[in-house]
Amino acid sequence: MSEIALAADFAIIIVVATAVGILVRQLGQPTIIAYIFTGVILGPVLFDIVTDDGLVYLMAELGLGFLLFLLGMKMRFSDIRDILRPITNVAIGQTVLQTALAFLVALALGFGTREVLVIALATVFGATPIIVKVLSDKDEITSLPGRIDVGVLIVQDIYLVVVLAMFSADSLENTGEIAQTLAIIFVMMTFIGLFSFASSRYLLPRMFRRVANDKDVFLVIAIAWAFLFIAVAGSQFDGGIEIGAFLAGLSLAQLPYSKELEDRITPITDFFILVFFVSIGLQIEGGAPSLFAYWQEALIASAILMFGNFWIMFYLIDREGFGVEPTFLASINMVQVSEFSLIVGALALQQGYIDAEILGYLTLMALVTMTVSTYIVANNHAIYERLEPWFARFESETDRDADLKTYNNHAIAIGYDEITASVLPLLEERYDDVVIIDRKTEHIDAIEEAPYDYVFGDFRHSEIRKEANLSGADFVLSSSVEREVNEALLEEVGADALVFVEAERIDDARSLYAKGATYVVMSTHLTAELLSEYVEHYLTDRSAFDAVTRADIDRLDDTARPPVRGGVGSRGEIDG
């Protein structure tokens, strides 16, 4: 294919995906659905404009690798450490029972043995990107139901890379070859996993601490780390790209820099993901008949699996004693057939295990269940309120009191400097938690030794703000003098929060007060006034000047820090 034709294909893909994406977003649906529809429109199902050849195929492969790399970066074990054992029980039980349910449904619908096996393995996964995105947008990712779902998704994602690698076997009917393939997979995963764990403990913290201040190098090294794992795993066995990318992301996820990395890598990943999910639609050969060959079976299976998946999750979570409401919410968030069913289906199609009609069947199920479940997750609390009287019968007096790390009655300091350092002890006395947001690596040692929580990253990134629960903060101190940053901060915090921000100009201070700032620190302005006062003392009253400077020296000796010049400009002072 010529370079001009390739460029034209990509131009068409991006334009159509953008147009469909705008429409889908207006309907409140995830963009992944738009990408799949784009492939359906441009592929053999409708207009057959773009083919899944050459560079498109390569970009789609990279899309799968970047997707799993990003998923690995979301899997921070600290998020579920307190409930790891019950979550593992739920995840293992869910994997077994949902696989069995999918197997029985496919068998009852009349599919062949090999097709039933592929369908059962493909439809067990939760939609990690969609669930994480919707829950993050609702600020529920750190809630108990959110952490339960994230924990289950961690186990599912590990299971996913095993399934993807298993489909690299030449035949699913040769048990000996499958066993040999799985043995190689587990040996390689163990080796790469141990290297990943050791790196996250000893190598990566030192390496990233040195480069984190340089945003470009920071990003390049993270991507290079992913490709290192992909190259090592991919050279050993088919399917290694997925395993290598996932484990590379998993090792980076345990670093304090993970949220910053995740936010910077996401835009790059989005493009590759677009091409990958478009390629799913391009692979449905035979046109619309292939996509809709089993449309009735797809609708029946979708309804049964959504209903069955909910009750499987509800039973398993309730058995661990998490309480009725968290159990209900965590269960209803996980009812969809994941987009990963398409990844497994596409790989099975490439290997010749299934026909295009089965991929069409999986595609319809994913589209139907993701569309419906997106609205369900968005309204999960309203649904529970309506059904609460009926579900109250499952309430138990021995429900687990999960000790999860959540930020309530907490203060946030944005940036770490002399001003914030002098205020932090006061905040610690007043609030249950104090969280520092800062992206300068030279401050890490000082902050880690202090009794405060620390989020590394740029405050402008939404993931960083959500990590610190900015919207729920009771007190916020910003050392940034950028007006846009502080205005965005004031728009996101709660109405009752106390907010201290900095400004360099009077106009900026007036604007910040108008948007609800409690106090505006005018360091430059007030330092000028104080300097004028000191000069006047020096020229007119040397004894008064000596007393002031002596007080400053004593203060320096007491705090072992340079005195903070400037002060706080109150609303009255600014208006005056």
pLDDT digits (tens, 9 = 90+) for 448-479: 677 788 777 777 777 677 778 888 888 998 88
pLDDT given at position 561: 41
Q: Is the dihedral of CA 347, 228, 124, 149 positive or negative?
A: negative
Give pTM, 2 decimals. 0.60
Q: So what CATH class is 3-394?
A: mainly alpha
Tell me the H-state helices in 109-199. 113-122, 128-137, 144-166, 175-198
Range of lowest pLDDT (270-279, 298-307, 532-541) = 532-541
Q: Pick 48 or 171 by higher pLDDT.
A: 48
Phi, psi of 311 (to 5 degrees): -70, -30
Q: Is the pLDDT of residue 51 over 50?
A: yes
pLDDT given at position 47: 79
Average pLDDT on 145-172 reads 69
Is residue 272 within 8 Å of residue 7, measured between CB atoms?
no
Q: Is the pLDDT of residue 526 over 60?
A: yes
pLDDT given at position 564: 39
User: Which stretches does DSSP call E strand in 448-576?
Assistant: 453-456, 475-478, 498-502, 519-521, 568-569
Most confident of the following: 47-56, 128-137, 381-390: 381-390
Structural domain boundaries in the chain: 3-394, 410-575
pLDDT given at position 568: 46
Q: Is the dihedral of CA 373, 378, 381, 385 positive or negative?
A: negative
Classified by CATH at the fold level, domain 410-575 comes out as: Rossmann fold (3.40.50)
Q: Is the pLDDT of residue 29 over 60?
A: yes
Is residue 383 within 8 Å of residue 376, measured between CB atoms?
yes
| Type of residue found at 417 | D
Q: Pick 95 or 285 by higher pLDDT.
A: 95
* Helices and strands: H and E segment counts in the chain: 26, 7
Contacts with 323 (C-beta within 8 Å, 6 or more apart), sequence order: 144, 395, 399, 400
CA angle, 72 as apex, 69 and 75 as ends, to 5°?
160
Equal fold, 3-394 vs 410-575? no
Phi, psi of 463 (to 5 degrees): -65, -35
Q: Is the pLDDT of residue 233 over 50?
A: yes
pLDDT band for position 300 (50/70/90)? very high
pLDDT band for position 94 (50/70/90)? confident
pLDDT digits (tens, 9 = 90+) for 353-384: 888 888 888 888 888 887 787 778 778 888 88
Q: SS in 3 state form for 258-299?
A: HHHHHHHHHHHHHHHHHHHHHHHHHCCCCCHHHHCCCHHHHH
